[in-house]
Amino acid sequence: MATEMKPKKLPGVLVVGSLAITEPVLRQLEQSGRYEFSYAPSVQRIESFLLTKPGVIVLHLPPEREKAEEAFSYLTLLRKHAAVVVMSSTPDMRLYLSAMTLGAFDYLTSYTPVEEAGRVLDNAVARRRWAA
């Protein structure tokens, strides 16, 4: 008697914020078939997305300093739900240090190679499993 195998559930990645900058890297990761992506347009509209219990949250930082600081204000809240990887359009050391000080799992830029971004997401998902 053959047993049916259920398809393996892919780790969920919740992307919060604008996709304009992050889209090329995330599109390639999504096409790899390693993750299941969902997209929340802003941090103010994430409640329903958090119900799916994502494996990792990618928080996009807007380039405007004021908006980036607003996004940072949600980082502590988001960390309660999953590991948070911050993604920025620029390799700004001040933003990196702020993200890491506030408890981000890692910091990526739109220039991060896809392979490295995938490694970071894999590690963030694995961290969640270890914590569970």
How far from the centroid of its chain's Cα atoms is residue 15's Cα? Answer: 5
pLDDT range class, residue 119, cuts 50, 70, 90: very high
- Per DSSP, the three-state class of 21 is coil
For residue 85, pLDDT beyond 90: yes
- Per DSSP, the three-state class of 107 is strand
pLDDT range class, residue 91, cuts 50, 70, 90: confident
Q: Is the dihedral of CA 116, 110, 60, 90 positive or negative?
A: positive
User: Where are the domains positioned within the chain?
Assistant: 20-131
- pLDDT tens digits, residue range 31-75? 888 898 888 887 777 777 777 788 899 999 888 888 888 888 888
Kindly report the pTM of this predicted structure.
0.85
CATH code that applies to domain 20-131: 3.40.50.2300
Taking the C-alpha atoms of residue 115 and residue 132, their distance in angstroms, rounded to an integer, is 26
C-alpha distance across the termini of the chain, in Å: 35
- Strands ordered across the beta sheet of 83-88: 36-40, 12-16, 56-61, 83-88, 106-109
The pLDDT of residue 77 is: 86
